[in-house]
Amino acid sequence: MSTETLPDTTRIVLASRPHGEPTAENFRTETVATAAPGEGELLVRTQYLSLDPYMRGRMSDAESYAAPTPVDGVMPAGTVGEVVVSRADGFAPGDVVLAYGGWQSHAVVPAAHVRKVDPATAPVSTALGVLGMPGFTAYAGLAAIGRPQPGETVVTAAAAGPVGSAVGQIARQRGARAVGIAGGPRKLEMLRELGFDAVVDHRSDTFAEDLAAAVPDGVDVYFENVGGRVTREVWRHLNLYARVPVCGLVSGYNATSLPEGPDRVPALMSSVLTKSLTLRGFIQTEFVPTHHDDFLREMGGWVADGSVRYHEDVVEGLEQAPAAFVGMLRGENHGKLVVRVAD
Amino acid sequence: MSTETLPDTTRIVLASRPHGEPTAENFRTETVATAAPGEGELLVRTQYLSLDPYMRGRMSDAESYAAPTPVDGVMPAGTVGEVVVSRADGFAPGDVVLAYGGWQSHAVVPAAHVRKVDPATAPVSTALGVLGMPGFTAYAGLAAIGRPQPGETVVTAAAAGPVGSAVGQIARQRGARAVGIAGGPRKLEMLRELGFDAVVDHRSDTFAEDLAAAVPDGVDVYFENVGGRVTREVWRHLNLYARVPVCGLVSGYNATSLPEGPDRVPALMSSVLTKSLTLRGFIQTEFVPTHHDDFLREMGGWVADGSVRYHEDVVEGLEQAPAAFVGMLRGENHGKLVVRVAD
């Protein structure tokens, strides 16, 4: 297929850097001619794009583990789509691939950076969720850092999100007790359905007491993805030698300044010392070489036999991505948030 | 020798719990009849006792990794002394042993809790320092957590102390670059003599700039034993995947409340996340089963051949222990602080 016959590309770019919570003004929709792939590249038509908290970091130019998205650059995202034009060996039109296509209807991507997705084994959108980056984040954080042992207690916040729900279910596969923290009765009910041993609503006036009741033996692994007040309460219950994989701090991503004092760093460091705690920040890419094959094998098996389940929150249409993204940062999604861009 | 013929035991007990910096009123000297050892016990005449920052923690009843010393209890300390009466197989009067005898002239200790010290291999006081708990703290923290690689940069504060000076010298044995932070020209000169690659005075008005100049390639291992302002400055220079063994926080041991805000915990956690840092609190006892044999072999060899050196700050007489201890918390000692109780 020649690119002359293709429809234009619709894309959403970063119009300006947000100060605090992103708003509609930080995004701009553009229509441009669809580019032709070069040697070794593919033109992919986006079917689903993934919305994830890390994108908030890319919108800022603060120092981080990844370069910021430039102003006027396409917003980044993992995508699942269909190959339209292939200029790379081993790929043909009609292949479904996981790519880093961004918030746009078509993307030119290096074939070396994509992975084929088999539509026969699971819905292709799972390559963005339970069998993709969020699921692997949960798997690798537990395998490499959290290392839950049978009978231990694993706590995760944002437990109704794609990482947290996988953390709890994987912990149970390892014989540990899974405690999930989320906001509101609908999310708690979802966690119960997924088999969490105890669930706690952080919006409740009795959150602290509820949490204490949910972890009678203390906390051995706290999978950190929120920060803030929830983390402070969990911290009180950490056991000697507890492990804290730090994979996200979504409660603070929109913060524009440090919170008021006192400075709690000395108290945090003191508990690190007196409880022999391990805190370890990580990005899932670090563990791809060592853990991704195991992940696809184990997690793929658990999803196939139903022992690990997942929820998707599917938003229809690329134009809905900015509003859905802002809502996710507020905790409004239920399950893995994806945008269906095309069939 | 019958205990009836022994001189009385002089001992220093915790008279009251300190609020902030300990003072003379928190200690009381007592003279009591020397006890007789029971079956499996030894009566040991103290020659040296060790003064260490952890003792400040035992004076408080805040939650910690070890039970607090009770009010009216003998202040705890590692000791080197001579067996006077043995009621345990394998020990005879005249043997020199490392024990946990406390701040007193004589102690009855379980033989199972002591280790013989060979006066032929090194001065017996080294069993309290470079070849004892402080040296092992440095060795195990680096071996199990810091894992310095050749060419990496290892920073330690309180570098003129017994742990810090061992950290720097062991790091150099591993092929890493050792940077020491200490207060005042006399300590800096000591560090240069020990072979540190760079030294920084935290009392200088240009401390931040001096530190930056001393770590042009950033910091791969920060051996944390002070906390506070020094740590905040080092933190800025941590590299991706840096490791922070947390073995002490002496700058905060006398604090009675958290410092003023802002609350820097979100900033600390953000750098843990974006730099994939490892923070790991530890007490050396955790690593005795896995690392102590290696320590005695390697560190013993390095001390014997002069590639690791040490400084001792010897205070004469048990009655000087409280003042020397308070001075150590202020950083007034130069090298490992020990009290010579008797010859």
**What was the pLDDT predicted at B34?**
94
Confidence of residue A4 (pLDDT cuts 50, 70, 90): low
Task: Give the 3-state secondary structure of chain A.
Answer: CCHHHCCCEEEEEECCCCCCCCCHHHEEEEEECCCCCCCCEEEEEEEEEECCCHHHHHCCCCCCCCCCCCCCCECCCCEEEEEEEECCCCCCCCCEEEECCCCECEEEEEHHHCEECCCCCCCHHHHHCCCCHHHHHHHHHHHHHHCCCCCCEEEECCCCCHHHHHHHHHHHHCCCEEEEEECCHHHHHHHHHCCCCEEEECCCCCHHHHHHHHCCCCEEEEEECCCHHHHHHHHCCEEEEEEEEECCCHHHCCCCCCCCCCCCHHHHHHHHHHCCCEEEECCHHHHHHHHHHHHHHHHHHHHHCCCCCCCEEEEECHHHHHHHHHHHHCCCCCCEEEEECCC
- The nearest alpha carbon in chain B to A265 belongs to B265
How confident is the prediction for chain A on average, in pLDDT?
Answer: 93
Residue B265 has its nearest CB partner, among A268, A270, A273, at: A268
Q: What is the mean pLDDT of residues A9-29?
A: 95
**What was the pLDDT predicted at A65?**
63
Q: Assess whether pLDDT exceeds 80 at residue A185.
A: yes
Q: Assess whether pLDDT exceeds 70 at residue A300.
A: yes
Distance CA A12, CA A28 (A): 6
Chain A residues touching residue B56 (CB < 8 angstroms): none
Find residues 77-96 of chain B whose CB sits inside 8 Å of chain A: none
Task: Compute CA distances B303 → A50, B123, B127, B166, whole Å.
Answer: 58, 11, 12, 11
**What was the pLDDT predicted at A251?**
73
Q: What is the mean pLDDT of residues B27-55?
A: 95
Chain B residues touching residue A227 (CB < 8 angstroms): 266, 269
Residue labelled with tokens 């209890």: B73
Report yes or no: A270 at the B interface, CB cutoff 8 Å.
yes
Phi, psi of A267 (to 5 degrees): -70, -40
Which amino acid is it at B248? G
**CB–CB of A114/A42 below 8 Å?**
yes
Q: Which helix (H) or strand (E) holds B289?
A: helix B288-304
**What was the pLDDT predicted at A63?**
65
| Better-scored residue on pLDDT, B69 or B3 | B69
**What was the pLDDT predicted at B2?**
53
Confidence of residue B64 (pLDDT cuts 50, 70, 90): low
Q: Please judge whether A259 and B257 are an interchain contact, meaning their C-beta atoms are less than 8 angstroms apart.
A: no
Q: Assess whether pLDDT exceeds 80 at residue B339.
A: yes
- For CA atoms A139, A324, A313, A230, give the dihedral sign: positive
CA distance B265 to chain A (A): 5
Distance CA A231, CA A225 (A): 9
Chain B residues touching residue A257 (CB < 8 angstroms): 262
Distance CA B227, CA B292 (A): 27
Task: Compute CA distances A120 → A47, A96, A236, whole Å.
Answer: 16, 11, 46
Q: Please judge whether B276 and A269 are an interchain contact, meaning their C-beta atoms are less than 8 angstroms apart.
A: no
- ipTM at complex level: 0.86
Comparing A38-42, A322-326, B47-51, B64-68, the range with the smallest average pLDDT is B64-68
The tens digit of pLDDT for each residue in B140-183 reads 999 999 999 999 999 999 999 899 999 999 999 999 999 999 99
CA distance B271 to chain A (A): 8
Which tokens belong to A150? 């049978």
| CA trace torsion B88, B93, B95, B96 (10° rounding) | 100
Task: Give the 3-state secondary structure of B85-134.
Answer: EECCCCCCCCCEEEECCCCECEEEEEHHHCEECCCCCCCHHHHHCCCCHH
Which three-class secondary structure state does DSSP give residue B329?
Answer: helix
Q: Which of B60, B250, B270 to mutate to test the interface with A (most CBs of A within 10 A)?
A: B270
The tens digit of pLDDT for each residue in B291-308 reads 999 999 999 999 999 999
**What was the pLDDT predicted at B226?**
87
Q: Please judge whether B261 and A263 are an interchain contact, meaning their C-beta atoms are less than 8 angstroms apart.
A: yes
The tens digit of pLDDT for each residue in B181-207 reads 999 999 999 999 999 999 999 999 999
Chain B residues touching residue A286 (CB < 8 angstroms): 276
Q: Assess whether pLDDT exceeds 60 at residue B3.
A: no
Q: How many CB atoms lie within 10 A of CB B256?
A: 8
Distance CA A214, CA A207 (A): 10
Q: What is the mean pLDDT of residues B1-21?
A: 85
Report yes or no: A67 at the B interface, CB cutoff 8 Å.
no
Percent of chain A residues past pLDDT 70, beyond the cut: 98
Q: What is the mean pLDDT of residues B55-79?
A: 88
Q: Please judge whether A281 and B277 are an interchain contact, meaning their C-beta atoms are less than 8 angstroms apart.
A: yes
Q: Assess whether pLDDT exceeds 60 at residue A55.
A: yes
**CB–CB of B10/B31 below 8 Å?**
yes
Distance CA B203, CA A86 (A): 64
Interface contacts A/B by beta carbons within 8 Å: 139
Q: Please judge whether A262 and B266 are an interchain contact, meaning their C-beta atoms are less than 8 angstroms apart.
A: no
Report yes or no: A64 at the B interface, CB cutoff 8 Å.
yes
CA distance B270 to chain A (A): 7
Distance CA A191, CA A168 (A): 9
Distance CA B239, CA B217 (A): 8
CA distance B336 to chain A (A): 22
Q: Assess whether pLDDT exceeds 90 at residue B66.
A: no
CA distance B296 to chain A (A): 24
| Better-scored residue on pLDDT, B292 or A226 | B292
How confident is the prediction for chain B on average, in pLDDT?
Answer: 93
Q: What is the mean pLDDT of residues B112-128?
A: 91
Q: Is B335 left (phi over 0), alpha (psi -120 to 50) or beta?
A: left
**CB–CB of A182/A196 below 8 Å?**
no
Q: Assess whether pLDDT exceeds 70 at residue B63.
A: no
Report yes or no: B309 at the A interface, CB cutoff 8 Å.
no
**What was the pLDDT predicted at A124?**
93
Distance CA A97, CA A80 (A): 6
Distance CA A107, CA A101 (A): 5
Report yes or no: B280 at the A interface, CB cutoff 8 Å.
yes
CA distance B335 to chain A (A): 23
**What was the pLDDT predicted at A133?**
92
Q: Residue B305, class by beta-carbon neighbours within 10 Å (0-12 exposed, 13-18 middle, 19+ buried)?
A: exposed
Chain A residues touching residue B282 (CB < 8 angstroms): 276
Q: Which of B265, B274, B287 to mutate to test the interface with A (most CBs of A within 10 A)?
A: B265
Which pairing describes strands B96-99 and B115-116: parallel, antiparallel, or unpaired?
antiparallel
**What was the pLDDT predicted at A64?**
65
Percent of chain B residues past pLDDT 70, beyond the cut: 98
| Better-scored residue on pLDDT, B252 or A203 | A203
Q: Please judge whether B261 and A261 are an interchain contact, meaning their C-beta atoms are less than 8 angstroms apart.
A: yes
Which domains are seen in chain B, by residue range?
A: 3-129+310-340 (3.90.180.10), 133-285 (3.40.50.720)
Which residues are CB-contacts of B40 (< 8 A; sequence separation ≥ 6)? B87, B88, B110, B111, B112
Distance CA B291, CA B278 (A): 20
Report yes or no: A297 at the B interface, CB cutoff 8 Å.
no
Q: Please judge whether A227 and B283 are an interchain contact, meaning their C-beta atoms are less than 8 angstroms apart.
A: no
Comparing A23-27, A292-296, B99-103, B247-251, the range with the smallest average pLDDT is B247-251
